[in-house]
Amino acid sequence: MAVCAPGSFVFGEVSILKFAVIVLAAGEGTRVNSRKPKVLHPVAGTPMTAHVIQAAEALGPRQLIVVVGRESEEVKASLGPELAYVEQSEQLGTAHAVQQTQSNIRDEVEAIMVLYGDTPLITQATLSAMRERHAAGRPAITFLTTCLEDPTGYGRIIRGQDNRMMGIVEEAVATDEQKAIQEVNPGFYIFDPEWLWPSLERIETSPVGEYYLTDIVEVALADGHKVETLLAENSRETLGINTRAQLAEAEAVMRDRIRRRWLDAGVTMIDPSSTWIDADVSIGIDTILYPDTYLQGQTVVGERCTLGPGTLIRDSRVGDECKIVFSVVEEAVLEESVDMGPYSHMRPGTHLGRGVHIGNFGEVKNSTLGPGVRMGHFSYLGDATVGADANIGAGTITCNYDGEKKHRTVIGDRVFVGSDTMLVAPVNIGVEARTGAGSVVTRDVPPRSLAYGVPARVRDKEDSDP
């Protein structure tokens, strides 16, 4: 018969134990069907395992170890070199993965929390409740359970009379009757270290040839040790990702959570369902996000901005009171009061000073534009430095690439670049100089002079215009 035992969080008045966290991320993840390790697939722009690590780190463990396996270099590079890693060279199962860390766990540690790297939705609050439960009773094992309408894929919780815990049965070896059980093991455990290490040795290989960590529950019960469980009421939090469909499910939950957080923090979204914010983004108060807007990576947005509709900003810093419409901004810095769009593209290395105006069809790459620069229509600035209050006329192009090398263009303060000017780099335009419409500037233009024609000739500004 299907058993789904209710339970509740009980908070003991206990001191917090010194604990270590082990995050298992060595599995092959074959069901995701990818060339990339499963644990690196992003959820809201961040590798799924990084979410697990963040939730655990928020509890302040004494140490945190990530178990990595094949292609471990890629996993380490993505999760960060500052973390402690242990290798599991052969993927012999979750019990075997935990065993690999034994010699790395410090003596002072009084409890060991084991988490799986494919459960990114877990929250600090739930882990913290588990830890309190464990500290209150000091059992051999405390672990989370949850109830699912469709328990397919999860280890099932076997209970006897009076709801007594009897063990966890993996789906691969479960009978049909056991498969009907809806209380499942979502894979969050805390162990007593002294008891754990010798007990892991007693786990035998399962019929499918893996050492299942879940078998440790029966080992504890056989010796008459205490095993505590805690029911996670919100089973969305404990979703394990084995397939791309589950990845999409986790993505939806995480995106909703992030939107909720920013709405509560004072950000307006005209249509939350078409507003996409990555986990590590931050947004200032009273900023308004219009539909179809994507804030990605490590983007930081200031206060009172208006972004979108139809805007993508990745790994960029946007100052207060910026206004961006139908544009793409990547690895760029925008100081305050920049306005842009529609249809402009800021590429890596762009730095726009305060009050810069970029109108339609502007492209800027690896260039710094001083405060007040105006570039209204159809222009490209690459590898350029532009002084304050310069005007970049319609259709201005920096010809920064000669087919082999890139060259710089330097434009002084208050320069007036006439429409359709080609600036053939390397070239310097001195302060307050002007270029005539359609000029092709191949040589430096002195300050306050005028360059005109093809190729451009220079005359002093005092002379009459051509």
390 vs 376: CA distance, rounded Å: 12
149 vs 208: CA distance, rounded Å: 26
Q: Which two tokens stand for residue 136?
A: 């209150």
Q: Which is nearer to ligand UD1, 17 or 24 (CB)?
A: 24
- Please report whether residue 39 would count as binding ligand UD1 according to CB under 6 A: yes
Task: In angstroms, give the least distance from the CB of 117 to ligand UD1.
Answer: 4
Q: Which two tokens stand for residue 399?
A: 């010809």
- Please report whether residue 97 would count as binding ligand UD1 according to CB under 6 A: yes
> Of residues 104, 182, 242, 306, which one binds ligand UD1 by CB under 6 A?
242
Inter-CA distances, 315 with 296, 312, 318, Å: 6, 10, 10
Q: Which is nearer to ligand UD1, 213 or 417 (CB)?
A: 213
- Please report whether residue 214 would count as binding ligand UD1 according to CB under 6 A: yes
Q: Which is nearer to ligand UD1, 19 or 154 (CB)?
A: 154
- Please report whether residue 118 would count as binding Ca ion according to CB under 5 A: yes
> Of residues 170, 280, 330, 420, which one binds ligand UD1 by CB under 6 A?
170
Annotation says 377 is catalytic: yes
- Please report whether residue 258 would count as binding ligand UD1 according to CB under 6 A: no
Q: Which two tokens stand for residue 196?
A: 């754990």
- Please report whether residue 27 would count as binding ligand UD1 according to CB under 6 A: yes
Q: Which is nearer to ligand UD1, 88 or 367 (CB)?
A: 88
Q: Which is nearer to Ca ion, 30 or 175 (CB)?
A: 30
Which residues are bridge partners to 1 per DSSP? none
Q: Which does 262 bind (CB under 5 to 8 A by kind): Ca ion, ligand UD1, none?
A: none
**Does residue 154 contact residue 171 with C-beta atoms inside 8 Å?**
yes
376 vs 184: CA distance, rounded Å: 60
Site size toward ligand UD1 (CB under 6 A) is 30
The percent of the chain in helix, strand and coil, each rounded to the nearest 5, is 20, 30, 45
| Stretch 5-44: interaction string toward Ca ion, x if CB under 5 A | ----------------------------------------
Q: Which does 185 bind (CB under 5 to 8 A by kind): ligand UD1, Ca ion, none?
A: ligand UD1
31 vs 466: CA distance, rounded Å: 72
**Does residue 344 contact residue 327 with C-beta atoms inside 8 Å?**
yes
- Please report whether residue 184 would count as binding ligand UD1 according to CB under 6 A: yes
- Please report whether residue 183 would count as binding ligand UD1 according to CB under 6 A: no
Residues between 111 and 140 that touch ligand UD1 (CB under 6 A): 116-119
Site size toward Ca ion (CB under 5 A) is 3
162 vs 326: CA distance, rounded Å: 62
3-class secondary structure for 397-423? EEECECCCCECCEEECCCCEECCCCEE
**Does residue 159 contact residue 183 with C-beta atoms inside 8 Å?**
yes
- Please report whether residue 210 would count as binding Ca ion according to CB under 5 A: no
- Please report whether residue 250 would count as binding ligand UD1 according to CB under 6 A: no
242 vs 376: CA distance, rounded Å: 49
Which among 58-66, 183-191, 259-267, 401-409 is the span making contact with ligand UD1, rule CB under 6 A? 183-191
DSSP structure string for 106-157:
-TT--EEEEEETT-TT--HHHHHHHHHHHHHH--SEEEEEEE-SS-TTSEEE
Task: In angstroms, give the least distance from the CB of 40 to ligand UD1.
Answer: 11
Q: Which is nearer to ligand UD1, 127 or 168 (CB)?
A: 168
Instruction: Give the gyration radius of the chain's Cα atoms.
Output: 30
- Please report whether residue 25 would count as binding ligand UD1 according to CB under 6 A: yes
Residues 6+ apart with CB under 8 A from 51: 43, 120, 121, 122, 254, 279
Q: Which does 278 bind (CB under 5 to 8 A by kind): ligand UD1, Ca ion, none?
A: none
Q: Which is nearer to ligand UD1, 119 or 439 (CB)?
A: 119
Residues between 242 and 261 that touch Ca ion (CB under 5 A): 242
> Of residues 29, 42, 155, 240, which one binds Ca ion by CB under 5 A?
240
Return the amino acid letter for 99: Q
Phi, then psi, of 258 in degrees rounded to 5? -65, -45
**Does residue 337 contact residue 319 with C-beta atoms inside 8 Å?**
yes
Q: Residues 51, 134, 357, 377: which is the catalytic one? A: 377
345 vs 317: CA distance, rounded Å: 15
Q: At what angle do helices 124-137 and 48-57 cross, to 10 degrees?
A: 50
Q: Which is nearer to ligand UD1, 41 or 345 (CB)?
A: 41
Q: Which does 362 bind (CB under 5 to 8 A by kind): ligand UD1, Ca ion, none?
A: none
- Please report whether residue 154 would count as binding ligand UD1 according to CB under 6 A: yes
* Positive/negative CA dihedral, 17, 20, 21, 27: negative
- Please report whether residue 187 would count as binding ligand UD1 according to CB under 6 A: yes
Where does this chain bind ligand UD1 (CB under 6 A)? Answer: 24-27, 39, 67, 88, 91-94, 96-97, 116-119, 154-155, 168, 170, 184-187, 212-214, 240, 242
| Catalytic residue annotation | 377
Where does this chain bind Ca ion (CB under 5 A)? Answer: 118, 240, 242
